[in-house]
Every structure is written in C-alpha cells, then in structure tokens.
Amino acid sequence: MILDKDLSSIQEARDMVRKAKLAYDSFAGASGEEIDKILRAMVKTIVENAEYLARMTVEETKYGVIEHKVIKNLFASRDVYEAIKNIKTTGILREDKENKVIEAATPVGVVLGIVPTTNPTSTIIHNTLCAVKAGNAIVFSPHPKAVKSSVATAVLLHDAAVKAGAPAGLVACLSQSTMEASDALMHHPDVSVIVATGGSAMVKAAYSAGKPALGVGPGNVPAFIERSADIRQAVQDIMTSKTFDNGMICASEQAIIADAPVKEQVVAELKRQGGYFLSPEETNKVSAIVMTPRCGMNAAWVGQTAIAIAAKAGISVPQDTKILIAPLDGYGAEYPLSHEKLTTVLAFYTVGDWEEACRLSIELLKLGGIGHTFSIHSKNDTVIREFLQKPVSRIVVNTPSALGGIGYSTGLLPSLTLGCGTWGGSSLSENLGPQHFTNIKRLAYGTKEVCLAQNAVPQKTAVSGFSSDEVAGVVRQVLKQLQLQ
C-alpha cells in the first residue's frame, strides 16, 4: 500500500528518467538498420495486440468505440511505420557540394510524452515510433484516467524493442499518475524535449517548463459544404468522421456550415444518414449535458453515442440516430455548442456564400481551434484555394476531417499529434514526425576568400585636400621634433 502517492510518484519519475538516460546513452550510436529492426518488432507486437489494447482503453476510460480504437492502434503502428521508415534520421542527411555544407543528424536525448485520455494507446505508439526512429529514449506521463492502458502499451513496446536489441529503459510510462510526477518529469534536467498532447493547461505547463516543447492545441473544426459539392458524399464524409471513435479526434468536425443554395439538400441528406436536428429547447438540454458553464467539454460525455446523450438529456430520438445536430444563430459564450465538442454533437450554420463562410469559420476557430484544421467540401478549386489564407495549419478537402487531418485519408504525414502553429501557440504547424526529434548539425567549408586588412586600409586617402603621403610626412616631422626636445 502506497502511503504517500505524491512522493512515490515523484521517485518513480526520477528513476524512470535515470534509466531512460542510460538507455539513450547506450542507444545513441545505433545504425539506421538497427533502429529499423527495433521499429519492426514494436509494430509487430502492436498489430498482434491492437484489439487487446483497444478493449482495455474503452473499459478503463469509458470513451469511444473498441473497433475504431483498433483502427487507431493499427494506424499509429503499421501506417506510421510505413510512412517514416525511409525518413533518414541518423548520420549524414544531405551534402551540398556546391555550397560545401554537410548536414548530419543526432538524437535529442530523452523525450517526455504527455498522454491524453482520448487517445492514450495510439498516442504512445505513434510518439514512441517517431522518437525511437530518431535514436531517442522516451518516457510517458499518462492521463490519470488512462494509466492502465497507457502502461500496458509502453510495456509491450519496451519488451519488443529489448528483444530486438534495444537497451532496457528505452520506453517507459509512469504507473502512478500525479501532477507532481508530471511536473518532476517536465523539469528533470535529463529530459531534453517535451511532447504535450492533451488539454490546453497541460500544453501551457509544458511550454513553461524551461525546455523545448512540442505542444498541440484544441480543434474546433468548421466544415463548409459549398454549393458545388457532392452533397451525399460530403455528408457521408462528415458522418464517418464525427462518428469515428465517437468524435474524439481533435481534427473531427465541430460545426457544419452549409451554403444557402444547397442547405435543404444538406439537411435532408443529414437526416437520411442518421442526423437528428435538435429544436431550440432540445439544443439547450443537450448543451446543459455536454458543455460546462464556461463552455468547456463535460469530460463525462466525451466520446459517447448520440443515443446516450439524448437519453441523458431526456430527448426521444430514433434508434438509428448517429449525430445530434444543433442549428445555431450565433457563436461564443451564449452558444456553448459553438465550441469544441469531442463527442457526437455538431453545430449547424447557414451562410449566403463562401465569403461569409470564411468569416464565420474564423470566428468559430477563435473559440478554441485557431491554427488547427479547416474542412471544405467543394468542386470549385478557386473557392477551395481562397481558404489557404485562413489561420489554420491544415485544410482538408472532400474527405472526413478527422481521418484527413491525421493523414489516414490524405497525403499528410500519418500522425496522432497535430501542430497548430503560432496561431494556436504551438511551435509545430505540421503533423509530428521523427524529423522533429533530431538535432541537425552542419559542417561548412569556407567558400569565399576573406581579406579584411587589405579592404580596411585604403592606399590613398584625401584629408582636407592633402594626400595620405603628405599627411604622413607632417606626422614624421612632428615626431622628430618631439624627440629633439
């Protein structure tokens, strides 16, 4: 029995970092071939245990869908490995013979990963592969509600890596999750960089720890259905995305913005595919359940089904309802459902044209998703490109936003950690990959002759009408006279 969990967790954190540092020192010189062997072993064990980890996560957190978490575990392992296996992260990266510059990669050291309760196993899998690919050790601080599944994932990865030749301690996860332990990890001198995936408070704490941090922010993704869109496909994409793991991926849609000329088609198609439009009274009831008084997400209803939310709110909906849709006339504090909702609830707006959609989407992003992701369904490439000017790091087109944002259905780098750029207070604007866990040193040869002395002293200089030789003669005469005195 642990009598003082805070002190015990701090000691565990210190011991874990010490072992990780020893493992890193031993592992830092590993070749690309050795690293790839370890990565393949880790991927193999995750593929074999993807369902086991998914079931454990849902049982522990009470969030999401088992089958979808299996997909995320496979994506975070198999798909991520295929995407990063050819990214060079060791030795000579590039040699510029013309400018005589050689770039070489070195690991950053011990990485600290902050793990969210929404995607604990898949986040650990992804971040481990990326960190180890670059030759680093990694330790994790799990969310208190996801300790069991987080530790199980880290143990599987660690044991597979060790069997493949990695040093013990290369991957680890706290078994006692406390704020004190997380703080001890963030401020430990042997932790080189922090990857913070989670709530805004934890991300801000990571950035204030006094060392490099890669943090991500919340998403409040607007999805604009423009008048030229394939309406049936656009609605299907949104329904697929918002019901995937019950809407817990931060790149999932939070509001549909319908172009006025196609609004009725969009509404009809949403209803046909399992969307239930709430009345104003029902909207207030759902809002009271799903959101907090400060317009935050009620953690108890993260990743829950539309049926369960409706039942709790006392609303009778058809049994095939997949998404609850709240038509809103505004946004901000008076409209709580205009904020991020990591569950099966969507806001719904109507606009007159794409320019109004631009203005509204920016206002929605300002509520907590600035810098993250914007989704558009359109066949008009001119309109699509207009949204390149918007303050987001990724714009996904004609695809489910959640799956497009993480690189599952787009050409973006497969990742479970999505940067928000400086708009969202993040040092990262792209999807996190192994390239973010390397230091790049540059060997630069001299290419230009430097003759500072010759350039600095002119041969002839006129001073008040006299040449430099005449001035020098006067100086010699004065010095001679001084010597005679």
pLDDT tens-digit series, residues 257-275: 999 999 999 999 999 999 9
pLDDT tens-digit series, residues 35-45: 999 999 999 99
Tokens representing 341?
Answer: 């909702």
Give CA separation, 44 vs 38, 49, 429, in Å: 10, 9, 30
* 5-215+433-441, CATH topology level: Aldehyde Dehydrogenase; Chain A, domain 1 (3.40.605)
- Higher-pLDDT residue of 29 and 439 is 439
If DSSP codes are grouped into helix, strand and coil, which group holds residue 342?
coil
Active site residues: 250
Backbone angles phi, psi at 134, to 5 degrees: -90, 5
- Kindly state the average pLDDT of the residues 181-197: 93
Closest CA to 376 of 288, 295, 255, 291: 255
| CATH classification for the domain delimited by 221-411, as one of 3.20.20.70, 3.60.70.12, 3.30.70.20, 3.40.309.10 | 3.40.309.10
pLDDT tens-digit series, residues 154-163: 999 999 999 9
Confidence of residue 197 (pLDDT cuts 50, 70, 90): confident
Tokens 């009345």 sit on residue:
279
Task: For CA atoms 160, 165, 168, 171, give the dihedral sign.
Answer: negative
Percentage of the chain beyond pLDDT 70 is 92
pLDDT tens-digit series, residues 416-470: 999 999 898 888 899 999 999 999 999 999 999 898 875 555 554 444 555 667 6
Which residues, listed in sequence order, are joined to residue 194 by a DSSP beta bridge?
Answer: 112, 213
Residue 478 pLDDT > 90 = no
Whole-number average pLDDT of the chain: 92
**pTM higher than 0.85, yes or no?**
yes
| pLDDT attached to residue 77 | 98
- Higher-pLDDT residue of 55 and 428 is 55
Q: Do domains 5-215+433-441 and 221-411 have the same CATH topology?
A: no
| pLDDT attached to residue 211 | 87
Burial of 296 (0-12, 13-18, 19+ CB in 10 A): middle
* Cα–Cα distance measured from residue 370 to residue 118, given in angstroms and rounded to the nearest whole number: 20
| Per-residue burial over 35-61, b = 16 or more CB atoms within 10 Å of its CB, e = otherwise | bbebbebbbebbeebbebbbebbbebb
Domain map of the chain by residue range? 5-215+433-441, 221-411
- Higher-pLDDT residue of 472 and 406 is 406
| pLDDT attached to residue 463 | 47
Residue 2 pLDDT > 90 = no
If DSSP codes are grouped into helix, strand and coil, which group holds residue 382?
helix
What is residue 277's DSSP assignment?
E
Residue 57 pLDDT > 90 = yes
Residue 199 pLDDT > 60 = yes
* Cα–Cα distance measured from residue 29 to residue 167, given in angstroms and rounded to the nearest whole number: 12
| H or E stretch covering 196 | strand 191-196
Tokens representing 231?
Answer: 């309406």
Torsion of CA 131, 137, 141, 145, to 10 degrees: 70
- Kindly state the average pLDDT of the residues 166-171: 98
* Cα–Cα distance measured from residue 158 to residue 172, given in angstroms and rounded to the nearest whole number: 7
